[in-house]
Amino acid sequence: MVKPEKTVIEFITKHHVLTLATSCNNQPYCANCFYAFLNDEIAFVFTSDLDTKHIQDTLQQNFVAGSVVLETSVVGKIQGIQFNGTLYKPENEMLDKANKAYIKRFPFAALMNTTLWVLKLSFIKMTDNRLGFGKKLIWKSEN
């Protein structure tokens, strides 16, 4: 598997909140989620209750979009990613792997009664003005 460039992975692992964009019945919705990143799978892991709007949306349409951004007003420091991917509830070995990664990043989550979700990425576009104004790094999965 061809992985995203090192700059993209470093950016993702440095941050911890993603914005998840869903749609159901032609009604868009966004939610912010704390995440851990599974580098080998090129996937985010986050927790969310089954009855939330964004999870209910994904039960109808699991292809989602989102972003992770650096908040800055300095144009030369602008960085962020936009992504597409497929959301699913992990099972068996993937559940164990996802749980370990999430608890390692957010130890307090061990006390929570919530559901883990994996967002397998299929596309990432990173804007990184540190590399030049409007510089874009694109990654697409091979699948």
Write down the pTM of the prediction: 0.92
pLDDT score, position 2: 87
CA distances from 131 to 4, 14, 76, 81, 85 (A): 16, 17, 9, 14, 26
42 found inside a domain: yes
- Residue span of the structural domain in which 108 resides: 6-140
Tell me the backbone φ, ψ of residue 86, rounded to 5 degrees: -115, 130
pLDDT score, position 135: 78
pLDDT score, position 98: 97
pLDDT score, position 129: 77
89 found inside a domain: yes
Contact 137, 125 (CB under 8 A): yes
43 found inside a domain: yes
For the chain, how many structural domains are there in total?
1
Looking up residue 65, the CATH number of its domain turns out to be 2.30.110.10
Give CA–CA dist 84/78, Å, rounded. Answer: 20
For the chain, residues with pLDDT lower than 70 are none
1 found inside a domain: no
pLDDT score, position 123: 97
